Structure 1
């Protein structure tokens, strides 16, 4: 009974840890952007992350096949290329604290897309959490969250990431409906490390033309100093790689609305980290962040059951996938 309860909470814990790491990225990215250009930062952090992830994922089943799957390309475009590119460009026009606060829109975007695309019912506890998180957004907005070009870019990126989250869940549910042969691995099952790595491969590849264009325009700049080089290394190894794996694991197994509510912690935590790095404190903004965190706590007290969610990513079945548990590409 205890093990079952813990297993059901693992996806929620995974998303929570991913959100905690994610929240620090705005301030660190702001430090890196003091010397580096946006494309160098975006491609560089994922290139470093892939140095960590690829050797681990390549040893697991279905890695090459997952990289080739069209769904992985879409996930890489939405969850890596568009989101991180627009966020890093947005940080050129707004502060890290403001960029973090703009993430308060993510829970509502994710829940709404989950409602329309997945037809997921939103539980009363989740609704309460979303209402409180939205109230926190309103408080923060009244404290000075301005709709400048940087925030607009961040919001477009957030819409892309919300769709990425919903498509992760949609693929998982589709796989759950595909019966597996008795005694064999479910068709198309791929573990989170493999899917996250394959997604990062495509996201990085899609951003390469942007880096080339930046270099051709003479706008590319490499990071320098402890804040630049150290920040980029920290983003790649400690933040990007673990966040991808943990978020993919949890988002596949949790209802989209629940995942979205947990991400409501990003504005408060991101703003708090920005304060640590030197941004001025604002009491009303802090109050809004606290209200959003209360919404997260209420929605997360009772973790949803994950028994019906699959272990894999819902990739289309292949005739040779059911060859056995040790099949490799």
Structure 2
């Protein structure tokens, strides 16, 4: 519409929301592989499909990778690969909803790292948001453990929390790269280093493949590839903190998908923790105050 313009920092939010749903689908498919394939195999499947996706993408689009800053490009892939492996460990040991929620706390860590390394402005309430998300994550762990008989829940919870830290670092590197690097080249780093990181774990615990597990691996890889490309593109239009806000629908979608398709138990205490986590991210990144603030009167 002529004369109507959307601020650049908001242009990526609709795409971030769509990518959140695709990331939730990826978590659901990964959970369906729990106990059937090793975590290393699922990680390698995700990144192998991503590389095939890029092998088709570049010729079709007529583009070539642009490696402007090799060190930063490598760090994005290394941090991302570690994060994904820990994330899939959490999904393997814990229900989908809590696992995704623990990983979704990355915006707080990303905002802190973005402040120190990218000089992105962080508001004072960030500390309050960090406290809320920490308390919320604790309630998620406590509530879910009350309805989970698995002795490995503790390991899964720690894996989920540390995956959030590495996710924050990976997104900060991604945000820095998006100033002069196209989304496909950034995604290429993620796939290359993620595959290299997961390969030793896959070979150490290789399990036979079947037609249905291969199909689920493809679903994990395709949903992840499309979601990551959309997310990477959108991050070129928002700050690290604002990008975290848009991704907070992923836990909501994941909880719903897990309850509907996997009949996973939903503990009320865990739901309270999830609400606190999301509230903490919204408050810490400043979006909640903007939504509640009265609209400015136009002259």
TM-score by length of 2: 0.78
Residue of structure 2 equivalent to 1:181: none
Rate the CA distance shift 1:293–1:3 in 2: closer, same or farther, 3 A: farther
CA contact (8 A) 1:268 1:286 kept: no
CA deviation string 1:138-170 (max 9, x = no partner)? 543452458711111222222111101111223
Within 2, Cα distance between the matches of 1:93 and 1:106? 20
Q: Deviations over 1:112-135 (max 9, x none)?
A: 212222232224798887776566
Deviation at 1:16, TM superposition (A): 2.0
Moved more, 26-35 or 157-166: 26-35
Tell me, yes or no, if structure 1 residue 236 matches structure 2 residue 221: yes
* Residue aligning to 2:26: 25
* 1-structure distance, mates of 2:49, 2:93: 25
Q: Which runs of 5+ in 2 are unaligned?
A: 147-152, 292-299
Alignment of 1:173-252 (within 5 A): 175=179, 189-212=180-203, 214=204, 219-224=205-210, 226=212, 228-237=213-222, 239-252=223-236
1:92 Cα deviation after fit: 3.7
Within 1, Cα distance between the matches of 2:172 and 2:195? 21
Question: Match of 1:269?
Answer: 253
CA positional deviation for 1:245: 0.8
State how many pairs are aligned: 279
Shift of the 232–124 alpha-carbon distance from structure 1 to 2, 3 Å rule, reads same
1:42 to 1:73, Cα distance in 2 relative to 1, 3 A? same
CA distance in 2, matches of 1:67, 1:93: 39
Instruction: Note if contact 1:66-1:198 (Cα within 8 Å) is conserved in structure 2.
Output: no
Of 287-296 and 29-38, deviating more is 287-296
1:289 paired to 2:274: yes
**Correspondence 1:119-198 to 2 at 5 A:** 119-123=119-123, 136-137=136-137, 139-144=139-144, 148-172=154-178, 175=179, 189-198=180-189
Contact in 2 for aligned 1:54/1:197 (Cα 8 Å): no
Deviation at 1:38?
1.4
Aligned to 1:102: 102
**Cα separation, 1, equivalents of 2:104 and 2:228:** 20
TM-score computed with the length of structure 1 as normaliser: 0.71
Asked whether the equivalents of residues 94 and 157 of structure 2 are also in contact (C-alpha less than 8 Å), the reply is: yes
Q: 1:128 to 1:149 in 2, by over 3 A?
A: closer
Q: Deviations over 1:188-224 (max 9, x none)?
A: x432133223432332234334333x1xxxx201443
1:279 to 245, 264, 267: 264
Match of 2:115? 115
Taking a change above 3 Å as real, the CA distance of residues 134 and 85 of structure 1, as seen in their structure-2 partners, is closer
Q: In 1, distance between residues paired with 2:276 and 2:227?
A: 25
Distance 1:94 1:141, change over 3 A: closer
> What residue in structure 2 maps to residue 85 of structure 1?
85
Structure 2 distance, partners of 1:110, 1:289, is 19
> Structure 1 residues 135, 86: closer, same or farther in 2, change over 3 A?
closer
Q: What is the SS of the residue equivalent to 1:66?
A: coil
- CA shift, 1:259, in A, is 1.8
Using a 3 Å threshold, how does the CA distance of structure 1 residues 104 and 120 change in structure 2: closer, same or farther?
same
Counterpart Cα distance in 2 of 1:104 and 1:8:
21
Q: Please state how far the C-alpha of 1:42 moved relative to its aligned partner.
A: 0.8
Q: Which runs of 5+ in 1 are unaligned?
A: 176-188, 304-329
Q: 1:114 to 1:155 in 2, by over 3 A?
A: same
Q: Is the 8 A contact 1:110 1:162 kept in 2?
A: yes
Q: What is residue 257 of structure 1 aligned with on the other side?
A: 241
1:241 positional shift:
0.9
